[in-house]
Chains A and B, each alone.
Chain A
Amino acid sequence: MSEEFPGYRGNALKFLKNAGAEIGDVIRVTKDGENWEGILIPRSEIGDENHIILKLKSGYNVGVRIDSTAQVEKVGAGVKPTFTPPPLPKQKTSLPKVAIVSTGGTIASRVDYRTGGVRPALSASDLYSVVPELADIAVVDTEILFSVFSENITSKHWIETAKTVAKHIGNGVAGVVVAHGTDTLGYSAAALSFALQDLPVPVIMVASQRSADRPSSDAATNLVGAVKAAANAPFAEVVVAMHETTSDTSIVFHRGTKVRKCHTSRRDTFKSINSSPLARMEDDTISLLIKNYRKRDSARKLKLKPTFEKKVALVKFHPDLNPEIIDCYVEKGYRGIILEGTGLGHVGNYCLSAIQRAIEKDVIVGMTSQCIWGRLNMNVYDQGRDLLAVGVVSLDDMLPETAFVKLRWVLGQTTKTEEAKRLLTKNVANELSPRTLNE
């Protein structure tokens, strides 16, 4: 692999070096009596070492195989495309102030036109220049916090994000928008819901399933919805703003503790689980779908509690789960385990003694359900009652991912087991709801 020739190695690289050609140069490959002429394009990392990619005059790319008979020559120097983003729109100072904090992900990525790869390179201000409508909604202050695809987000990033959001709120913004990848957005939304207590203004997390360089991207619609909500929504909670359906007509706001990515690729991948979304925006109007919510009140004092215990595990039960895995966590000094049990909250009885050993060592074991929808009830069957008897904490209708984040947060707030259990089962950020409606 070579830095000047991204993706090229072996035979192809040797030919290119000998020809003195650089990426972007016009080169000609001659073999079998045929000429191939075009601009030299970088090769994707998974490509083999025997092809050179040329962009033909027509704009099409083709791969040309380099064999022993091939001749490669440079015919012209490359013209490097200069990229000038459009100027930032004028700020209308009378509008509410909104901060956009970018952490990365598809919504903050754009295609590299030379390699075709999608890169997390779009700065928050790029977002703004690409979606000029934002200038009519709010005075936007942008900050690139990281450029991380969401699978690489860790609790370190949660903490940084929470602190940055708090900083902007401290500066008196009307709301904060956090751009984030979709894959682990549910976890981060839960983390911010616990870390940012007594919010005075809304924190809107936003993402997209199609990158912003595509004309059909959902990024702009989601972002516009997010900024409108940050500027004007009546609620002051952590929510996720995404497409409600496959159409570009409405955006819904899901509570950060009740939301889950439910589809690998659809625009409406996020669903509120065991809850209605908090609000919907359609035709520029936000309507609330839940009566009880924390109202916006800029006078309220934010409490920042950005501490998360690292040694907590999320274990999905499955047939033949080896109970030694639980022992292993205990030996490694883990302080909490969230089980994703079956049905109403069960695991195989062959796991019971390992769970008991863990609890005896002061490890908090919480139960959730892998059914995704519905509430636990561990009193219905013997298996459930046995688990309760050894001290497993039933987490009611809490999502497994939210329970995992919450236990980490709880253990970050207290070292006392009983206090931690109390906090774990107490509703902090709408992660628990007493009623399940027929929705």
Chain B
Amino acid sequence: MSSKYSKIGLKAGLEIHQQLDTKEKLFCSCEPKLFKEEPEFTFLRRLRPTQSELGQIDSAALFEFQKETKILYEANNDTVCLVEMDEEPPHDLNREAVEISFISSLMMKAKPVDEIHVMRKTVIDGSNTTGFQRTCVVALNGEIDIKGKKVAIQQVSLEEDAARKTGKDGQLLHYRIDRLGIPLIEVTTAPVIYSPEEAKETAFAIGRILRATRRVRRGLGTIRQDVNVSIRDGALIEIKGVQELELVSQVIENEVQRQLSLLEIRDELKKRGVKEADIIADFVDVTSIFKQTKCKVIAKAIKQNKPVLAVRLPGFAELLKKELATGMRLGAELAGMARFWGRVGGIFHTDEMPAYGVTDEELNHLGKLLKKDSLDAVVFVADTLENATDALKAVVERAKVALKGVPEETRSANPDGSTKYMRPRPGAARMYPETDVPPIQVTNEYINALGNRLPELPEQLMKRLMEEYKLNQKLAKQILNSEHLDLFESLAKKTEVSSTVIAVAFTETLKALKRDGIKIEAITDEQFREMFRLIGSGKTAKESIPEILTWLADNEDATVEDALESLGLSMLSRKELEELVDEVIKKNSEFIEQRGKGAFGQLMGIIMKKARGRVKAEVVNEILKKRLK
């Protein structure tokens, strides 16, 4: 496995972002939480690219600006104050967040800085109202142990989370700023990870250490991974926003495969004798071909007086539809560029034709008009002249890069482990001091005091889980990797239910439900507590757990009592049970006569099935024995 990756020179690094469980946000006193309701107010802004200290303006940023991109920020008074709106300077750096990040750093043997300086990192995609993200290094040069190998932790930093995108409406982006300012710790490893499996192990190990502080947030979106991947002859690709630890290895595998395939395409193009000079930005207006088209997208565009433009990509036939890696094709890469630079919904290309209602006849026309050879591909797009032109320009540029191999870029991760083009890699790091926040001096006494009362390390915790709660190794490891670790411990201590049952519920059961598409993240801690309390007091049986959780996931704000009632899962009373036993005996009287005591096992089975987990086997056993005497 790893030899395959060492042969191709895989190098990967991770950036793990984890929200901290603080009382307040990083630079103001707002409560760190999100809101689901309609926003109470909105405001509209534009972000203007500014000159860097080198006097340069980032070209992608300038482009966005010139295209009149506007941002509508959504907010409410519960989660947002003037600081998030960029209407009030930041308050002092949240000391609670600083403390948690130092504790995490020390657990990873990283060396705290002597003085923290908050910086501004320019980000003008709208995700920060200021146009920059506030961030600071808290520690450097740590290491963690991954199966005997030391993986270097380059840097631990503390930063504000960004606003979350809630939609796009033409050139108007919607961002909700409730999340803006929630403290995030960012742990950056050196690019010393040499296989997807090792990357996943590393991601889990960092996650375990952060959770071991017991002071990080959990739930969907509270931990996010960025992955840097490069292979020999490929390029350094930054993949943003891998939502789940489990996906890390798959994303890397896909990226390696994508780069290898792009290198194959490069070689194939060379073999076909395609030269950069052959790929010409000569756009042909082919609107007339599609006047009567059945293709809905094109017909709609033409109706709005938008032209259809086409360009010939010489030697690209069959290559656009080639699958680079699971779910990724060169055609999609071109489309990604076209969307970013040309603001179009998508592109059409001849490799995927005939499809979408485009007919062979139309394609013949198109081929003739573009002088398409059998080895050529044609890309066409229907949009305003300006957008279509920009889109095809981007397509041509991307096609030229295919001759060289893999372009450096920033990609974003999809939930299925594939990735898509996001934006060009940012230029030289544009970072300058946040002068509104004074530096914080870190004394040795403070760090020593924190060092003397560090939380249990994951390996110690693992040992304790096995001893104290009698969990087997596999279950202990699963609980250690679970974000419900804290809840597990408190329930295992407080309720009558066996620790193993609770651990299984939080690991295997939840995993299985999630696989079945149940929205388990909707289940609250309070609901878990109530459920185990009711199981502990005999109101329902442990066998009902999957059913109860499934119901709770679909019925927010309901109680577990509601679930039991609605599902008919309350334990049968002794009287109800006796009636059930009598009924079963009556129905099977013949069988009992035949078999005598030998009927016991089968009757037991019938009763348990009818009771659907609402009885304890011991009690059935007792009653049935009595009745059969």
Chain A interface residues (CB < 8 Å from chain B): 34, 44, 46-48, 51, 53, 56, 58-65, 81-86, 111, 113-118, 130, 210, 212-217, 220-221, 245-249, 264-267
Contacts and interface: CB of A to CB of B under 8 A. Distances in A.
B365 interface: no
Given A58-B137, A62-B114, A213-B50, 8 more contacts: A59-B429, A60-B117, A60-B155, A62-B117, A215-B132, A246-B43, A249-B44, A265-B89
A62 B48 contact: no
A266 B83 CA distance: 10
Contacts of A130: 50-51
A61 B87 contact: no
A215 B55 contact: no
A116 B433 contact: yes
B119 interface: yes
B530 interface: no
Contacts of B360: none
B441 A216 contact: no
Interface string B132-147: 1001110011000000
B433 A61 contact: yes
A118 B50 CA distance: 14
Contacts of A216: 45, 47, 86, 129-131
B43 A247 contact: yes
B113 A63 contact: yes
Nearest to B45: A248
B85 A215 contact: no
Contact of A265 (B44, B52, B53, B82): B82
7 contacts: A63-B441, A81-B53, A113-B432, A130-B50, A215-B124, A216-B130, A220-B48
Contacts of A221: 46
A285 to B, nearest CB: 17
A116 B430 CA distance: 13
Contacts of A85: 51, 55
B176 to A, nearest CB: 16
List the 9 closest A-B pairs by CB distance, nearest first: A63-B115, A215-B131, A116-B433, A113-B53, A59-B431, A59-B429, A65-B114, A61-B117, A247-B44
Interface of B: 43-55, 57, 70, 82, 85-89, 111, 113-117, 119, 121-122, 124, 129-132, 135-137, 140-141, 155, 157, 429-435, 438-439, 441
A212 B131 CA distance: 12
Contacts of B131: 214-216
A376 B213 CA distance: 62
A335 B149 CA distance: 83
A60 B130 contact: no
B115 A65 contact: yes
Given A63-B441, A248-B45, A265 B88 contact: yes
A63 B114 contact: yes
Given A65-B115, A83-B55, A215-B131, A47 B45 contact: no
B413 to A, nearest CB: 23
B441 A215 contact: no
Nearest to A51: B115
Contacts of B135: 60
B432 to A, nearest CB: 5
A82 B55 contact: yes
B132 A214 contact: yes
Contacts of A61: 117, 119, 433
Contacts of A265: 82, 87-89
A267 B87 contact: yes
A113 B433 CA distance: 8
A58 B326 CA distance: 33
Contacts of B115: 51, 53, 62-65
Contact of A51 (B140, B432, B441): B441
B119 A215 contact: no
A117 B85 CA distance: 22
A64 B49 contact: no
Contacts of A113: 52-53, 432
A117 B438 CA distance: 12
B348 to A, nearest CB: 35
Contacts of A213: 50-51
B55 A84 contact: yes
B132 A117 contact: no
Contact of A111 (B49, B55, B140, B432): B432
Contact of B431 (A60, A215, A249): A60
A90 B220 CA distance: 52
A165 B111 CA distance: 58
A238 B429 CA distance: 43
A210 B131 CA distance: 12
Contacts of A245: 43
A221 B55 CA distance: 21
B433 to A, nearest CB: 3
B429 A215 contact: no
Contacts of A83: 53-55
Nearest to B70: A248
A247 B71 CA distance: 10
A60 B119 contact: yes
Contacts of B155: 58, 60
Contact of A64 (B43, B114, B141, B434): B114
B435 A117 contact: yes
Most buried by A among B82, B111, B117, B155: B117
Most buried by B among A114, A116, A212: A116
B283 to A, nearest CB: 28
Contacts of B435: 44, 111, 116-118
A248 to B, nearest CB: 5
A215 B438 contact: no
Given A65-B115, A215-B122, A210 B429 contact: no
A60 B43 contact: no
A297 B59 CA distance: 44
Contact of B114 (A51, A56, A84, A267): A51
Nearest to A62: B113
A117 to B, nearest CB: 6
Contacts of B89: 265
A34 B113 CA distance: 11
B434 A60 contact: no
B85 A63 contact: no
Contact of A214 (B130, B140, B429): B130
Contacts of B157: 60
A116 B436 CA distance: 10
Contacts of A217: 48, 50
A212 B48 CA distance: 9
A84 B56 CA distance: 8
Contacts of A214: 50, 130-132
A216 B124 CA distance: 9
Nearest to A264: B88
Nearest to B118: A61
A81 to B, nearest CB: 5
B538 to A, nearest CB: 57
Nearest to B122: A215
Given A48-B441, A59-B429, A53 B117 contact: yes
A63 B52 CA distance: 23
A231 B43 CA distance: 28
B69 to A, nearest CB: 12
Most buried by B among A61, A64, A113, A267: A61
B92 to A, nearest CB: 14
A111 B51 CA distance: 10
B72 to A, nearest CB: 9
Contact of B439 (A56, A59, A63, A247): A63
Contacts of B43: 245-247
Nearest to A249: B44
A215 B111 CA distance: 34
A114 B433 CA distance: 8
Nearest to A245: B43
Nearest to B430: A59
Contacts of A56: 137, 140
B137 A212 contact: no
Contacts of B49: 215
